Structure 1
């Protein structure tokens, strides 16, 4: 497979569109035709995280993504009570805005994994139709999530100050720890990641966004039960060296989830779609092709 060079940030931004959710402007992207595939990004970055695999996926599916509330080029209201459940509402509102009906496939990462878990729970509650879900590195289980130091500080009493002091230098230091040793981001990539964070004074709301960590604990049992119920094909594609949610998280997934479908990417860290996009694309497409083969066999194609 040829190297996936991706989409420059300026071009990515030019392709975006806006809609209004809860009185706030949300930036979103869509491309391609076919079955809808919803991409859900992580903390503290944005949907540009998917830029390396966006076009290959759009060649096969109707891909849809937004910068969630408080992230990237979407609104970042000060004083807002950011919730994962509201971000799931946002994803459903975006799909409704685009006229998407019927089952939706989801590919999620990090914070987005928690939003996807909520959508999976809603599927079992009859409030959403989920066709499949693939999780990249994320805190699927609070007991295996190893928060980095800046996350712990953001959760503490000095959180507002820590957020305001967050800088490009601190982003680079944190990413150096969580990316794989051979797949570190370039200086240009760090510039772009930080630009998306700082737009709209994003550091000022980081201490509010980080409340997703205790919210995960509240929803833990409901979300784990949803993953255990079956009926929706699931896969984990995980960078093994990620200190936050790497191989140790996958080991817990294998303990708790029946017939676990897991792919470990050796020497890859927390951002596999950036660090190893070719591998992520290959394993995602294999997952989808297996689903299609099973559906075809069931229908006696």
Structure 2
């Protein structure tokens, strides 16, 4: 399934690029020159989420932002399972295709586990990591387990697929600032039908279903990436990843880290504090 949506160049002033992965056609942007930086989004977002951060960094870095299969402008291929393991494999193919070396990866929400899975397989090519409001270990938090179970019920799956629940409810609730109607359309219109939303519907299930991958990452990330310089940027008003429950383990995994607290930001930190995030990335890795 191909998505017929043209982003507004005033909001998304980038050239669309395409990569034919082993599973389907992937959309990405590749902006600027300099040390490469790869941006990983979460649910139910796409590379549009990073637009203002990329604008702020592309004069210093080569900024690559990808849409996973089932998200944004990427295809919805028949037979694709939309598991975290599959997403990691496809993005890894893109990294290898682009021959990215000395790479800094940036991940938020599901972009954390996916970026970490890509990174541990290529640890010698990773320069550093940026993580915000995310995790990469099997969750023992009751709120996340409950969220996964509730969102996996038939009723909520129907709400996600038929009423675009994640975009219509969770995106506004997860941002401190009010998104404009045109900005909301960029999240809404790339998911135009129930068939287009199957990737979104699968991710809540993956909180529990991806436990084997998350168990492996819990071991391998500290072992293979723990010595890398890290930047942790955290929205302190996030309902999904409250700092007291997630930051201590993240800090322990990356001893060489800098922590930046975003006091007013909620879950979608890229919408709430893009300039601050871009500035701290420059300070840490520029």
TM-score by length of 2: 0.84
Residue in structure 2 matched with residue 294 of structure 1 by the alignment: none
Q: Deviations over 1:122-153 (max 9, x none)?
A: 235xxx62111101222334234844987544
Equivalent pairs, count: 275
5+ long unaligned stretches in structure 2: 1-5
1:174 aligns with 2:170: yes
Is the 8 Å Cα contact of residues 76 and 200 (structure 1) preserved in structure 2? no
Q: Which of 237, 244, 249 is matched with 1:241 structurally?
A: 237
Kept after mapping to 1: 8 A contact 2:28/2:67? yes
Q: 1:177 to 1:83 in 2, by over 3 A?
A: same
Q: Is the 8 A contact 1:166 1:203 kept in 2?
A: no
- The equivalent of 1:58 in structure 2 is 58
Aligned partners of 2:144 and 2:240 also within 8 Å: yes
- The answer (yes or no) to whether the contact 1:21–1:93 under 8 Å persists in 2 is yes
| Unmatched tracts of structure 1, length 5 or more | 1-7, 290-301
Partner SS, residue 224 of structure 1:
helix
Q: 1:220-277 CA distances to partner (integer Å, 9 max, x unpaired)?
A: 3322233323222222101010010131322443456545532211011011111111
Seen in structure 2, the aligned counterparts of structure 1 residues 68 and 145 have a Cα distance that, compared at 3 Å, is farther
What SS is found at the alignment partner of 1:264?
strand
| 1:36–1:63 CA contact under 8 A, matched in 2 | yes
Q: Evaluate the alpha carbon distance shift between residue 211 and residue 150 of structure 1 in structure 2; reply closer, same or farther with a 3 A threshold.
A: closer
Give the conservation status (yes or no) of the 8 Å contact 2:113–2:214: no
1:30 aligns with 2:2: no
Q: Which moved more, 1:225-234 or 1:272-281?
A: 225-234
Who wins on radius of gyration, i.e. which is larger?
A: 1
- In the alignment, what sits opposite 1:225? 219
Say if 1:107 and 1:135, in contact at 8 Å, map to a contact too. yes
What's the Cα RMSD here? 2.8
Aligned to 2:3: none
- Tell me, yes or no, if the aligned pair for 1:19 and 1:26 is still in contact at 8 Å: yes
> Aligned partners of 2:262 and 2:142: how far apart in 1?
18
